[in-house]
Chain A
Amino acid sequence: MQVAHIGYTSVEGERRIARLPALVVNQIAAGEVVERPASVVKELVDNAIDAGSRRIVVELEQGGIELVRVTDDGSGIREEDITLALAPHATSKIRSAEDLDSISTMGFRGEALASIASVSRVSVRSRTSGSVGGGGVQIDAEGDRVDPPKPAAGPVGTSVTVRNLFFNTPARRKFLRTPNTEQGHCVDVVTNLAMAHPAIGFTLRTDGRVVFDLAPDQSPKQRVLDLVGRELAEQMLEVNVDRFDDVRGLAMWGMVGLPTIARANARAQHVFLNGRPIRDKTIQHALREAYRGLIEPGRYPTAVLMLVMDPRSVDVNVHPAKVEVRFRDQSMVHSAVLRSVREALRSADLTPKVAFNPNSGPSSMFRPDSALPGSLGAHRPSTPDPQAFVRFFHRPHGGEVAEPLSYQVLKTTLSSGNADQAVDVPDSVVAGVTGGDRVETVGEHASQAVEHDRGEYDQSLATPIPVSRVLQVHNSYMVTQDDQGILIVDQHALHERVMFEYLLHRITAASGEGGGGLESQRLLVPAVVGAEPRRIARLGELRPLLARLGIEAEQLSPSSLGVQAFPSFLYERGVTPEEFLADLLDRADADDFAPESESALHEVLDMMSCKAAVKAGDRLSERELADLLKLREAVERSSNCPHGRPTSIRLTIQELEKRFGRS
């Protein structure tokens, strides 16, 4: 650390070594402890908890950038100690190096207030219950200036106000995110601490609005449910390890979510060690393992785990913000978490409750009769509409798609030598036979396209390939042939890409060119989506994006929102507003999600396409397969799905010949 206190100073062009002033030292230390308003909130609430408070009130303005105030009813600071509280490496929590081995308080390093004061305007007001005359004391500090303490009135406890964070370090201030993002982090921090301390009442106010107000003396379970949203209560399982591992010095309690409420990011995972929120790879891994096979890769189970261990079997002094810890016996912790979570999941009924509907089959878009509302009359014979599928996408296509040609038909055509009779050759066949490069013009104009197809078929007669049937393998992949060999297409990936391009076009193009946004269906009663207050708080920011997608949503309570209108086509494809919005809020939770950016729009459209596309395992009819394959040629970037994975792979004739030892 000594080295850190020494820097180069440039004097008349020459850099010489000089001792840094105390302010700069503290500011550097602040860089470790205070990186954003959330760190301030954390340090102050930690202190409030260590002071034995029963109620803690946290107030934020502008995401904490303008103001963070933490008020508690704890023991308070004695008048004579208050100056020391602002000095670096001054603490009431440890006395000697030995104490580091058994830390039971939240803070201990003694640098928090000093660091914060070095980069902001801090005011501490405090009163102990035994204070002489019943008065309190207040001290103000700003950068390196500390005013002398002065008397101040107020209740027992401490109130620390931090204003204008980083006012004297413009570089750091510039690195702060939008107030909304910063606020999100602050809410996270308070949420975590409130979960860990159900006995303490927590009130969080942002810009005068109550985010949550939690009564003291709650049970851990009540507290967790209050914070994750009571709506999820039925989907949470309790986890206990008291059956074992007690001997080994680990006790654990927690709640984990059913696989159905797994999230797209790990933010719904809250892990605590001895009341302190931690981030630990071992535990994350154990959780992932416990859910393996139950949730898709890339999704994260919802989990709140509270571990209690002998402080001596864990080192918490490895990270300045204390979020990382080092377990003496990692594998013990891993197996304890894994076993108990697995046990909880095993004893629960994980079968999704939505009944399997034997009629659902391939998704409705592929059922020709359902695409035409007029034919929905159950008693009317439904006329199959060959255009139903194609029409869904943004380029019109020429010619009807018929069943793949039989050899007989082809033979007749060949022998008559008249290509015109082959008009009902599926485009996909033609495209497949002749290669994609020549099909670009398909779809410019219906009648032209038909003409064009004939011409192409003419050319294709020269090749000795008779006809391409499309084969569906394991209801997931399409296999067909093209001029180079065998083409294997992932039906979900391809359809997802096709959907994506279509939706993007609908939303971004002008209304005259097939754009104009998505039609949305209003709901009788709002569909209620429950989520933590922090995620709900972002609704305002998301609203313009939602409007572009045809979604209307209003906040109903701090932890829920109601969807009032939802895109018709998602409804048609069986996607519910509840699941979609829950996922969307998850995505929006990621740090790099800027709702107004194009990348955010793409991300959400990708989510829509993925949910609406045919899935691996959906059985498709021959015509549906042919139609889908045809779209492969019609859509840009069809080789990869929106995630970048390939939609198709090809096995060339050369490769086959090599494999069969023919060349």
Chain B
Amino acid sequence: MKVICDRGALLDAVNLVAAVVPQRTPTPALSCVKIVATKGPGGAQLTLSGSDAETSLHLTVTAVDVHQPGEAALPADKLRAIVAAEDGEPTLTLETDGDLCHIRGQNAHFRVYGYPTADFPPLPDFAATVAGSAGAEPAKSVFSQPAGLLLDLVQKTTFATARETSRYAINGVLLKREGKKMEMVATDGRRLALCRASAGGAGGKDAGSVSCIVPTKALNILQKLAVSEDDTVRVAVTDSRIFFAFEEPAAGGGGGGGKGDKDKHASQPRAVLTSTLVEGTFPPYEDVIPKDQDKKVRASRDTLTSAVRKASVLTNEESRGVRMTFSGGDKRLKLSSRAPEMGESEIGVDLSAYEGDDIEISFNPTFLTDVLKVVSDDEVIFELKAPNKPGLIKTQGGDFLYVVMPVNLAT
């Protein structure tokens, strides 16, 4: 293999793939990025793949000049460090010599020992899965979604997942698609975020309905993959895994064209992210969404965010809660916090609207700032029932819901 590649493009790709590769693994091949250089009729390209056995990422870089096709498997951390360190170089040359790989810049020459590419685990094949080829696990559902819309769902839910809990199902985000509706739900047992959108058109075969739990790691990587909101993401779900394939907008993949080989290559995805699904049953979340909230508040998101941040200054790890006193008479909200032997604070907020009796309820401020950060509306709706009952935060239109449990403050 001998390729000359654009360093910037290579660095972007290596950074993304290295994020998938596990830091420590007993299988040396897994700590590698596999590089494959091809010179097809569609043009020269370099593909980079990395996997931690659960999540795999496959990227295509076209800013390359392939002199001799071939492949290599190089330790991800070293490759990344080298590509990053050669920051004065417009291009880098990669050339293999057995398992040894030479990386050359203007004044530098690295000889890196790689691993036999045969040791690199075979990655699930997106094209084969979508095409329903023999040997590939059949896809239950395949659909396309504009990247912007999909990432909006991801971003508005992923933050609420549990970390390292033994209830594995809530370590991921539930992705549900049924008819024209698509929704994602995440919870950590104390709060729950739900976001809905209308599902995009079915790509290829008719999209079946689907309900699966996607690991947080995959969704975090997914958020880094989109270049433009208009990218199309094709999603394929099988019994055990999910694929996200990013296609360039208007690259001839969707509409016209249809000229045999050439078109096939044009529609080859720029990036394919694959992840095994989380097994298990997602908690029956419909039941925890309160339906009979009788106190309704409207407030400016910015004002509320800033007030919660201020109130949270005088809290600590153990005394988390911020007390919120809503009074309908003067449409005011008072936030107060108190950390033992440290201090107290009191912040006032004017509400746009208030409906219902006065109420006093306490929340972990982090749970509030988390959600205020991801919604983009100017105004949020806050619905309450009782001091020991969940609070509900939503946006106009109702596509986004956030249920948050209160805390019982120490007296």
- The residues of A with any CB-CB pair to B shorter than 8 Å are 353-355, 357-358, 360, 364-365, 371-374, 376-377, 388, 391-392, 394-396, 506, 511, 514-525, 527, 550, 565, 568-569, 571-574, 576, 578-579
How far does the alpha carbon of A91 sit from the alpha carbon of B313 in the complex, in Å? 77
Residues of B contacting A391 in the complex (Cβ-Cβ under 8 angstroms)? 316, 339, 342
Residue of B187, B319, B369 touching A524 (CB-CB under 8 A) = B187
How far does the alpha carbon of A525 sit from the alpha carbon of B287 in the complex, in Å? 9
Residue of A371, A376, A506, A524 touching B403 (CB-CB under 8 A) = A524
Binds A, one of B6-14, B87-95, B135-143, B158-166: B158-166
In the complex, the answer to whether A396 meets B190 with C-beta atoms within 8 Å is: no
Residues of A contacting B321 in the complex (Cβ-Cβ under 8 angstroms)? 519, 568
The smallest C-beta distance from B48 to any residue of chain A, in angstroms, reads 22
B408 interfacial contact with A, CB 8 Å = yes
With contacts A353-B168, A355-B164 taken as known, whether A519 is within 8 angstroms of B320 at the C-beta atoms is: yes
B317 interfacial contact with A, CB 8 Å = yes
With contacts A519-B321, A524-B192, A568-B321 taken as known, whether A373 is within 8 angstroms of B315 at the C-beta atoms is: yes
With contacts A511-B410, A523-B405, A550-B408 taken as known, whether A571 is within 8 angstroms of B164 at the C-beta atoms is: no
The smallest C-beta distance from B395 to any residue of chain A, in angstroms, reads 19
Residue among B168, B187, B340 having the largest count of chain A Cβ atoms under 10 Å: B340
In the complex, the answer to whether B408 meets A523 with C-beta atoms within 8 Å is: no
Which chain B residue shows the least CB distance to A365?
A: B317
Residues of B contacting A373 in the complex (Cβ-Cβ under 8 angstroms)? 309, 312, 315, 320, 364-366, 369
Residue of A374, A376, A506 touching B340 (CB-CB under 8 A) = A506
Residue of A357, A358, A506 touching B410 (CB-CB under 8 A) = A506
Residues of A contacting B369 in the complex (Cβ-Cβ under 8 angstroms)? 373-374, 376-377
In the complex, the answer to whether B364 meets A568 with C-beta atoms within 8 Å is: yes
Which chain B residue shows the least CB distance to A378?
A: B373
How far does the alpha carbon of A388 sit from the alpha carbon of B313 in the complex, in Å? 11
Residues of A contacting B373 in the complex (Cβ-Cβ under 8 angstroms)? 377
Contact with A along B357-376 (1 / 0, CB 8 A): 00000001110011001000
In the complex, the answer to whether B340 meets A525 with C-beta atoms within 8 Å is: no
B199 interfacial contact with A, CB 8 Å = no
Residues of B contacting A520 in the complex (Cβ-Cβ under 8 angstroms)? 407-408
Which residues of B from 372 to 410 have beta carbons under 8 Å from A?
373, 388, 390, 403, 405-410
Which chain A residue shows the least CB distance to B171?
A: A355
The smallest C-beta distance from B230 to any residue of chain A, in angstroms, reads 24
In the complex, the answer to whether A522 meets B164 with C-beta atoms within 8 Å is: no
The smallest C-beta distance from B283 to any residue of chain A, in angstroms, reads 5
Residues of A contacting B312 in the complex (Cβ-Cβ under 8 angstroms)? 372-374
B341 interfacial contact with A, CB 8 Å = yes
In the complex, the answer to whether B341 meets A525 with C-beta atoms within 8 Å is: no
Which chain B residue shows the least CB distance to A364?
A: B317
In the complex, the answer to whether B320 meets A524 with C-beta atoms within 8 Å is: no
Which chain B residue shows the least CB distance to A518?
A: B410
B288 interfacial contact with A, CB 8 Å = yes
The smallest C-beta distance from B167 to any residue of chain A, in angstroms, reads 8
The A-B contact count (CB < 8 A) is 126
With contacts A376-B366, A568-B320 taken as known, whether A521 is within 8 angstroms of B190 at the C-beta atoms is: yes
In the complex, the answer to whether A524 meets B288 with C-beta atoms within 8 Å is: yes
Contact with A along B77-109 (1 / 0, CB 8 A): 000000000000000000000000000000000
In the complex, the answer to whether A506 meets B407 with C-beta atoms within 8 Å is: no
How far does the alpha carbon of A506 sit from the alpha carbon of B340 in the complex, in Å? 9
In the complex, the answer to whether B410 meets A516 with C-beta atoms within 8 Å is: yes
Residues of B contacting A353 in the complex (Cβ-Cβ under 8 angstroms)? 166, 168
With contacts A357-B164, A523-B405 taken as known, whether A392 is within 8 angstroms of B316 at the C-beta atoms is: yes
- The residues of B with any CB-CB pair to A shorter than 8 Å are 23, 163-166, 168, 187, 189-192, 283-284, 287-288, 309-310, 312-313, 315-321, 339-342, 364-366, 369-370, 373, 388, 390, 403, 405-411
The smallest C-beta distance from A597 to any residue of chain B, in angstroms, reads 23
Residues of A contacting B165 in the complex (Cβ-Cβ under 8 angstroms)? 354, 576
Q: Beyond the given A354-B164, A525-B189, A572-B320, could you list 16 further A-B residue pairs with CB under 8 A, ordered by the A residue number?
A: A355-B164, A365-B317, A373-B309, A376-B366, A376-B369, A376-B370, A394-B341, A395-B341, A517-B410, A521-B320, A522-B388, A522-B405, A524-B390, A565-B408, A568-B320, A568-B364
With contacts A518-B410, A576-B165 taken as known, whether A524 is within 8 angstroms of B340 at the C-beta atoms is: no
The smallest C-beta distance from B67 to any residue of chain A, in angstroms, reads 38
In the complex, the answer to whether A525 meets B366 with C-beta atoms within 8 Å is: no
How far does the alpha carbon of A645 sit from the alpha carbon of B312 in the complex, in Å? 37
The smallest C-beta distance from B339 to any residue of chain A, in angstroms, reads 7
The smallest C-beta distance from A398 to any residue of chain B, in angstroms, reads 14
Which chain A residue shows the least CB distance to B288?
A: A524
Residue among A394, A515, A568 having the largest count of chain B Cβ atoms under 10 Å: A568
How far does the alpha carbon of A388 sit from the alpha carbon of B407 in the complex, in Å? 21
The smallest C-beta distance from B409 to any residue of chain A, in angstroms, reads 6
In the complex, the answer to whether B317 meets A521 with C-beta atoms within 8 Å is: no
In the complex, the answer to whether B409 meets A519 with C-beta atoms within 8 Å is: yes
The smallest C-beta distance from A356 to any residue of chain B, in angstroms, reads 8
In the complex, the answer to whether A525 meets B283 with C-beta atoms within 8 Å is: yes
Residue of B189, B284, B316, B409 touching A527 (CB-CB under 8 A) = B189
In the complex, the answer to whether B189 meets A517 with C-beta atoms within 8 Å is: no
How far does the alpha carbon of A360 sit from the alpha carbon of B316 in the complex, in Å? 19
How far does the alpha carbon of A396 sit from the alpha carbon of B341 in the complex, in Å? 7
In the complex, the answer to whether A578 meets B166 with C-beta atoms within 8 Å is: yes
Residues of B contacting A371 in the complex (Cβ-Cβ under 8 angstroms)? 316-317
In the complex, the answer to whether B405 meets A521 with C-beta atoms within 8 Å is: yes
The smallest C-beta distance from B9 to any residue of chain A, in angstroms, reads 26
In the complex, the answer to whether A357 meets B406 with C-beta atoms within 8 Å is: no
The 8 closest A-B pairs by CB, nearest first: A569-B318, A373-B312, A522-B405, A516-B410, A514-B340, A374-B309, A517-B410, A373-B366
Residue among B168, B189, B310, B366 having the largest count of chain A Cβ atoms under 10 Å: B189
Which chain A residue shows the least CB distance to B306?
A: A374
How far does the alpha carbon of A625 sit from the alpha carbon of B388 in the complex, in Å? 39
Which chain A residue shows the least CB distance to B283?
A: A525
In the complex, the answer to whether A569 meets B189 with C-beta atoms within 8 Å is: no
Residues of B contacting A392 in the complex (Cβ-Cβ under 8 angstroms)? 316-318
How far does the alpha carbon of A138 sit from the alpha carbon of B154 in the complex, in Å? 74
In the complex, the answer to whether B189 meets A523 with C-beta atoms within 8 Å is: yes
Residues of B contacting A576 in the complex (Cβ-Cβ under 8 angstroms)? 165-166
In the complex, the answer to whether A519 meets B318 with C-beta atoms within 8 Å is: yes
In the complex, the answer to whether A372 meets B313 with C-beta atoms within 8 Å is: yes
Which chain B residue shows the least CB distance to A521?
A: B407
* A to B CB contacts below 8 Å, 14 in the list: A360-B164, A372-B313, A373-B366, A376-B369, A511-B411, A514-B341, A517-B411, A520-B407, A522-B388, A524-B190, A525-B189, A568-B317, A568-B321, A571-B190
The smallest C-beta distance from B315 to any residue of chain A, in angstroms, reads 6
With contacts A373-B312, A373-B365, A568-B318 taken as known, whether A574 is within 8 angstroms of B166 at the C-beta atoms is: no
Residues of B contacting A518 in the complex (Cβ-Cβ under 8 angstroms)? 318, 410
